[in-house]
Amino acid sequence: MAEQEFDYDLFVIGAGSGGVRASRIAASHGARVAVAEEYRVGGTCVIRGCVPKKLLVYGSHFAEELQDAANYGWTVEKMSFDWPTLRDAVLKDVDRLNTAYTSTLENNKVERFLERATVTGPNTVRLGGSGREISARYILVATGAWPVMPDFPGNEHCITSNEVFHLENLPKRVVISGAGYIAMEFAGIFNALGCHVTVVNRSETILRGYDESLRDRLLQITMARGIEYKFNCPFEKVEKQADGSLQVFLAGQPDPLAADIVLVATGRLPKTDGLGLETAGIELGAQGEIPVDDHGRTACDSIYAVGDVTNRVQLTPIAIREGHAFADRVFGGKDTSVSYDCIPSAVFSQPPLAGVGLTESQARQAFGGNIKVYSSDFRPMKNIFGHRPERGLYKMIVEATSERVLGIHMIGPEAPEILQAAAIAVKAGLTKADFDATVALHPSMAEELVLMR
């Protein structure tokens, strides 16, 4: 098919963070672009993920801060909480962001199809609603990932992070399956709002992949705050009772757990079901991911993929960078690539933790004994009038010979906000001496970064 015979230069399947960025940048390079999205524009992060979840985190913080206010001389009378007010405010902001993302596409003259699209060949897609077949010089798949719902009796009574934002009422008893970042973030939210929370995990490890010292600290703090844990306890079944409550049966446990909701947060897999990629000779990976090369190209030269659907790094900023790099390379003639080194990440648990670079365990595996670990274990000033004994912990991992910083990891109030600046230093290859030479900003929690010993 000759290039001028294509309906579009680029057809994007999925209008999440990666798809929207790729569409906008490709259009800015003069490409004729269309995007198909079967639900709402914005993707997981904006519609049912990090943004609304972070707003719930902010909302839940007031429970603690209003209690602390009395110690600062404030009188707060008739303190109460109304879940529908918070829920509706969050959903209203989701509507605002959906409109903003839609406007971005419109302003860049990207045509939108609000229906499902599937691949029917190397250069063609079919729209599910109208049945229309469209041709494109390039196809970009950016359909993201979807929550995993394990197969066990009664799983139809459970919800995932997709549905949790729409709860009619605030539950009194919450059972959460899983102990990754989604599970720990919602555990903190519900616990702060006064719910009884039980975290159930198949293994004995929370937040696998994060620094062990931070994981241990978070476990201690959340247990002190009233979150209960059941480790090495796979789900057997969930039964719904006559009053609408749930009974959760766990392997090795004699008595079931009573719950009002059961939130399953056991991971996310690439959303590739029924996409038709086999029509273009593309075989999916073991987790349903789309295999791609360093530039996002699949086994079919005209089809690319970015973001969570590739199962490389499931982070919104990475999807955005991959989408941008794809558009610059394919339509802008720029030799753009994405670096996956020193990616900062955070868990908005309560308290939050954040890290960049190698953990202590990873550094020991990579460098043997040739590392040094500096740390600061302190009580944040913010906690003093709150009468909370919780302590913050910052760690710096360095290569012993050069003292180049290999990783920084921290848990404590505002840790993610502080880490973003520190991540620049790690990415730039700065040394412990560079941190030591920087004057501390006092009094602050961030000053601990330049005071670690």
List active site positions. Answer: 442
Quick one: residue 180, left, alpha or beta (phi over 0 = left, psi -120 to 50 = alpha)?
Answer: beta
Task: Count other C-beta atoms under 10 Å from residue 30's C-beta.
Answer: 10
Q: Is 418 annotated as a binding residue?
A: no
Q: Is 255 annotated as a binding residue?
A: no
Residue 339: HSE in the Cβ half-sphere, 13 Å Cα cutoff: 7
CB 140 within 8 A of CB 326: yes
Sign of dihedral through CA atoms 118, 119, 120, 123?
positive
How long is the chain? Answer: 453
CA angle 351, 67, 54 (to 5 degrees): 40
- E strand or H helix at 18: helix 17-28
Q: Is 304 annotated as a binding residue?
A: no
CA angle 63, 64, 68 (to 5 degrees): 120
CB 189 within 8 A of CB 269: no
Q: Is 182 annotated as a binding residue?
A: yes
Q: Is 1 annotated as a binding residue?
A: no
Q: Is 332 annotated as a binding residue?
A: no
Q: How far apart are CA 311 and CA 291, in angstroms?
A: 9
Q: Is 179 annotated as a binding residue?
A: yes
Q: Is 178 annotated as a binding residue?
A: yes
CB 271 within 8 A of CB 144: yes
Q: Is 59 annotated as a binding residue?
A: no
Question: Per the annotation, where are the binding residues for NAD(+)?
Answer: 178-185, 267
Question: Per the annotation, where are the binding residues for FAD?
Answer: 54, 308
Question: Per the annotation, where are the binding residues?
Answer: 54, 178-185, 267, 308
